[in-house]
Copies of this chain bind each other. A is one copy, B any other.
């Protein structure tokens, strides 16, 4: 018998498209590795509980050896009780004709409640990843309502943008993604994000030696920022499997280590690095080791990069004042 105690992993919006793409990969061991038992806490709004029952039945029908139990609930107390990892996927989507500020405020209510419930019920070291949009500000709202938990454990996902940047460059250079290192995404998971190639390497050499600055500005940056909209146009639905994949990667890298010489992108509460004020959840290049992330320090920032980094900072400050103000 395996003596390791099970870890508890919560997923909100668990019966949605991202949730459905996510929970089976978590249960199969892709998140925590073989030999680590887990208990899934699947959280949904009341209207989605019937669909959630179907997800639960199919999880049972996988007979995953490490999946010890499944909690399905619309109650945040039961949903977050003693959880070690929380994927906050569910959020209010933007309806037709809805103002962005209305969307922000409705999500503020949701993430306020979830922050409070995490504060009351989760483990003291629970790690939180917000996937539901507007992800950075939702993470900030949840963190502000969980005063007893470490602020640094509230993060939002920009690894999907990071992967999209990797794929776009690999395609341009006709090189495998496995040869690329040290790309990063700064700022907000939104149209103002800044996917940055200044520090990136291909097969150990500076990437920008092989790429035209015009292509980077006019094609690469807009393509990465608009990729989500392009997927919606082609699929008739927003990214699901690729978002779930990035969520697993984010959490796995955080618990384990980033590969030597490489980074990932994570939106985390700023510690003041690069002049980004504390009190914003902002995407930085980070390394992970010993179960912690570390913002990559002292990168030289060009005036072009600085301008992009400030633009996405200003957007986040606007979101913050709408949400908390």
Known contacts A68-B176, A231-B58, A163 near B63 by CB under 8 Å: yes
Could you pull out 27 A-B pairs where Cβ atoms are within 8 angstroms? A24-B25, A24-B241, A24-B242, A24-B244, A24-B245, A25-B28, A30-B30, A50-B234, A53-B234, A54-B235, A57-B227, A57-B230, A57-B234, A58-B231, A58-B235, A58-B241, A58-B242, A61-B167, A61-B227, A61-B231, A61-B242, A62-B163, A62-B167, A62-B246, A63-B177, A65-B178, A66-B178
Interface residues of A in 143-168 (CB under 8 A from B): 160, 163-164, 166-167
CB A102 to nearest CB in B, in angstroms, measures 29
Bound Cα distance from A62 to B241, whole angstroms: 9
Looking at A58, A163, A178, A244, the one whose CB has the most chain B CB atoms below 10 A away is: A58
Q: How many copies, total?
A: 2
The answer to the question of A51 belonging to the interface, with a C-beta cut-off of 8 Å to chain B, is: yes
In the complex, the answer to whether A57 meets B163 with C-beta atoms within 8 Å is no
The residue in chain B whose Cβ has the minimal distance to the Cβ of A68 is B176
CB A261 to nearest CB in B, in angstroms, measures 15
Partner of A24, one of B21, B54, B60, B170: B21
Looking at A54, A59, A236, the one whose CB has the most chain B CB atoms below 10 A away is: A54
The answer to the question of A274 belonging to the interface, with a C-beta cut-off of 8 Å to chain B, is: no
CB A219 to nearest CB in B, in angstroms, measures 16
Chain A interface residue count, CB cutoff 8 Å, equals: 44
Chain A positions 180 through 213: 1 when the CB is less than 8 Å from some CB of chain B, otherwise 0? 0000000000000000000000000000000000
CB A234 to nearest CB in B, in angstroms, measures 4
Known contacts A21-B21, A24-B21, A176-B68, A61 near B239 by CB under 8 Å: yes
The answer to the question of A278 belonging to the interface, with a C-beta cut-off of 8 Å to chain B, is: no
Chain B hits for A246, CB < 8 A: 62
